[in-house]
Amino acid sequence: MSKIAYSTLNSFLKTKIADANLFTRTVSIALGVSLARLAALPTSAPESARAFYAEQIQPGIEQQAVSFNEGIVVDLDLTWQVARSIWMVRCGLAHPPALLELPQEGTPGDFLVGMSGCSYVLDKAIYDFLNANKEVIYVIMNRICSTMNEVANPQVRQA
């Protein structure tokens, strides 16, 4: 992203995240969700969603997160963990398993997450953080996605 885009986005993020102690965590999680939502899904059920992610999706997400980190510091490990988890849930919902396993005690998630067959990939603390802060996360995710799109396609400005 360009320096101007980083500066504008960083200023916006600081208006939405009042607690400086939560800034990096919140932006890292929102970036991870955003990158997972922007990543492609397989057109048919992969033999192994984990292998498909590792081979086809993870390199691009890692590169985008590192690029983002050059302008706005994030916790890359947390961003990558969240991106993988959210992408796995998306893939599970797009290509659901034939049989669902009963959720284990303490597994985070609601009915839709459980239906994806991927509730095991979500860290409970991150799941709870997303639920507790969903309004600000949605706003930040939308801004991150529109900024990344604007930088990738400068001739097409978002409304």
Q: Which helix (H) or strand (E) holds 25?
A: helix 20-38
Q: Which residue reads 């529109």 in tokens?
A: 146
Tokens of 73: 């510091």
User: Which of the listed ranges 22-36, 101-115, 116-130 does the model predict with the highest average pLDDT?
Assistant: 22-36
Tokens of 137: 């996360």
pLDDT per position as a tens digit, 62-93? 999 999 999 899 999 999 999 999 999 899 88
Q: Count of residues for the chain?
A: 159
Alpha carbon separation from 102 to 86, 95, 116, 153 (Å, rounded): 20, 18, 12, 44
Q: Which residue reads 């916790």 in tokens?
A: 75
Helix-strand-coil percent breakdown of the chain, rounded to 5?
70, 0, 30
pLDDT per position as a tens digit, 1-23? 577 888 899 999 999 998 888 99
Asked if the model's pLDDT at residue 156 lies above 70, the reply is no
Domain ranges across the chain: 3-152
Q: Name the residue among 24, 2, 21 with its Cα closest to residue 13.
A: 24
Per the prediction, the chain carries an average pLDDT of: 86
Q: Name the residue among 142, 151, 149 with its Cα closest to residue 33.
A: 142
- % residues pLDDT > 90 (the chain): 54
pLDDT of residue 147: 86
pTM: 0.86
Asked if the model's pLDDT at residue 105 lies above 70, the reply is no
Q: Name the residue among 118, 60, 40, 46 with its Cα closest to residue 85.
A: 118
